[in-house]
Amino acid sequence: MRCEVAERTISETMDEGASLPAPVAEHAESCPRCTAFIAGAWRLRELSRFEVARPMPDLVPTIMAAVRSDAAPRLAHRGIGRFPVRLLAGRRAVASALVAGLVIGLVVTTGGVLPRRENDTAALASEIPARLLAAARQLEGYVATFDITERNWTRDVPRRTFVAHLGFRAPEEFRVDVSDTTDYPSAAWPRNDLSLATDGRTWRVRGPDPCPAAALPDCPASGPVERSFRNRPPFDPRTAMPTDVIVPMTVLAAADRVSVIGDGSVGDRPAVAVALAYQDATPLFRYLRFLGSWRTFFPQDRVVLWLDRETWFPLRYEVFPATGAERRLWTAQAGYPPEPPSVPVFTAVVSTLSAAPPPPGALFGSAEPAGGGDAGFRDAGPASGSPPIPALLRPGDTAGLVPWRTGAFPSTDTRPYREEIAAYASGLGWLTVTRVQGWTQSAPFGAGPLAEPVTLPGGSEAGAYEPATAEQPRRVALHTAQGEYLVASNLPRATLLRVAASLPVTGIP
């Protein structure tokens, strides 16, 4: 078989969510060029996120069996014992889960087997995003510890363990410290001890640079590195706060519905399980992957996320290998051993949890990092509270968020335009309004060439919309008589467009 024919078939089956024909799969397994093409094609789709979500294989029974067998976490002061998982099961124990699907049937509860109606599951699938959004807006603080297990990082180190301590104080104080507790073969192996902290205006990270797998344990760089920035603009995505691990705003809160696959409890905490592909769950892992060396995951690997029914905090999440020839080819090329779809290759479980806000300044500390870069933003008004917002940066509808920060980047030789920003926030929810004067490029400010043309609510203005990615929030760019505008937020698309439509500006073609 010619590689050109195989590559065309591979691309078509990826786009259509189908399985590879047997002759193509057999050819690809023995062809280095086609194996590399498959890996590159998945990577391209993961980065661009253009593909249609593929159906989830019927893995719910095996996944849930694996979850049952694991030891449960113990939430501090909450008496968490064993992790009793309760599947949504019918007479024939069928669990058919799609990425945007749902499971119907019966729920096995603590008191016995009770019927659960299909419309109950459908209602929950539609209600979870709104509940997550409400929880995020009301959140004032968060302190938690996660116990983490990663499998198959390398053949010499098939299992690594970590403890991650997280803290958040609304709206812009965040800290995570990751301690590597792995028993390595020798002291020569690099330890993945990491930290990230920000008080909103200053941001720093510390830890080892990524090490190529082929070089382990002799990494090119020895010892941790530290990077820092001062004068950080509000909610800057380049120096991000990876807060989806607290409430999955990017992952789930902006969706119309989620895929509910299980109902049960974590000890005495009622919980619900949802499933999604790893490519859609990457923001959940950003609190770990800002530095250091980590294993990779196949884009269609399954993430099972257990949410607390009261607080909607993630209590546990796991990554299960996908099935199929593409996954097997990817596994071989990545150098991993065979990975059964019923055995998680990554697990994170909450061991302590509190919604009490940390004291002001406790997360970042009083000492600013030495050296580092200057992001260049100059705050106006008080250091915190409700600053006066310029009229042209005040939308009529702020989605219930309150003014948080405002300021500007001065014009420089490398930035020959003026950029003003106003930020609004409540809990984990935030939005920024940016106005740029002196923009001379033909492309909209802050939007790429693949941005989607949209008409704002009311039909009077047009914008260029881009969805959220692992690196950028969802945003809409406007070309107006008052300058170029960019409205960005972690709130849902409809809310973002509504806010943008309420700006006191006049759009121009």
pLDDT per residue as tens digits for the range 127-162: 999 999 999 999 999 999 999 999 999 999 999 999
CATH code for the domain in which residue 286 is found: 2.50.20.10
Q: How confident is the model at residue 265 (pLDDT cuts 50, 70, 90)?
A: confident
**What pLDDT was estimated at residue 364?**
82
Residues 6 or more apart in contact with residue 323 via CB below 8 angstroms: 57, 59, 341
One domain, residues 20 and 71: no
One domain, residues 412 and 438: yes
Span of 47-51, 386-390, 396-400 with lowest mean pLDDT: 47-51
The winner for highest mean pLDDT among 92-106, 302-316, 378-392 is: 302-316
One domain, residues 401 and 265: no
Q: Which residue intervals of 50-161 are DSSP H helices?
A: 60-69, 118-138
Q: How confident is the model at residue 39 (pLDDT cuts 50, 70, 90)?
A: low
Sign of CA dihedral 12, 14, 15, 17: positive
Taking 50 as the threshold, does the pLDDT of residue 53 lie above it? no
Is residue 166 assigned to a domain? yes
One domain, residues 219 and 324: yes
What distance in Å separates the CA atoms of residue 115 and residue 46, rounded to the nearest whole number?
39
Residues 6 or more apart in contact with residue 385 via CB below 8 angstroms: none
Domain boundary among the residues 321, 354, 387 is at: 354
What distance in Å separates the CA atoms of residue 402 and residue 149, rounded to the nearest whole number?
39
- The answer to whether residues 249 and 490 touch, using CB atoms and an 8 Å cutoff, is yes
DSSP 305-318: EEEETTT--EEEEE
One domain, residues 43 and 169: no
**What pLDDT was estimated at residue 142?**
97
Domain boundary among the residues 298, 319, 354 is at: 354
Is residue 85 assigned to a domain? yes
Taking 50 as the threshold, does the pLDDT of residue 426 lie above it? yes
Is residue 389 assigned to a domain? yes
Taking 80 as the threshold, does the pLDDT of residue 40 lie above it? no
One domain, residues 126 and 254: yes
Percent of the chain with pLDDT strictly greater than 90: 59
pLDDT mean over 336-365:
92
**What pLDDT was estimated at residue 471?**
85
One domain, residues 329 and 411: no
Taking 50 as the threshold, does the pLDDT of residue 57 lie above it? no
One domain, residues 237 and 286: yes
One domain, residues 269 and 127: yes
One domain, residues 264 and 413: no
- Number of C-beta neighbours around residue 120 at 10 A: 15
**What pLDDT was estimated at residue 51?**
33
Q: Which domain holds residue 470?
A: 376-501
Sign of CA dihedral 15, 19, 21, 22: positive
What distance in Å separates the CA atoms of residue 424 and residue 399, rounded to the nearest whole number?
9
Is residue 264 assigned to a domain? yes
Taking 90 as the threshold, does the pLDDT of residue 203 lie above it? yes
What distance in Å separates the CA atoms of residue 372 and residue 117, rounded to the nearest whole number?
57
One domain, residues 436 and 299: no
The winner for highest mean pLDDT among 25-29, 48-52, 53-57, 185-189 is: 185-189
Q: How confident is the model at residue 94 (pLDDT cuts 50, 70, 90)?
A: very low
**What pLDDT was estimated at residue 482?**
94
pLDDT mean over 409-426:
93
What residue has token string 């097997």? 328
Is residue 509 assigned to a domain? no
Count: domains in the chain: 3
What distance in Å separates the CA atoms of residue 482 and residue 53, rounded to the nearest whole number?
40
Is residue 359 assigned to a domain? no
Is residue 488 assigned to a domain? yes
Is residue 236 assigned to a domain? yes
Residue-averaged pLDDT of the chain:
82
One domain, residues 492 and 413: yes
- Map residue 105 onto helix, strand or coil: strand
pTM exceeding 0.85 = no
More confident residue, 486 or 23: 486
- Mutual orientation of helices 3-16 and 32-48 as an angle, nearest 10°? 30
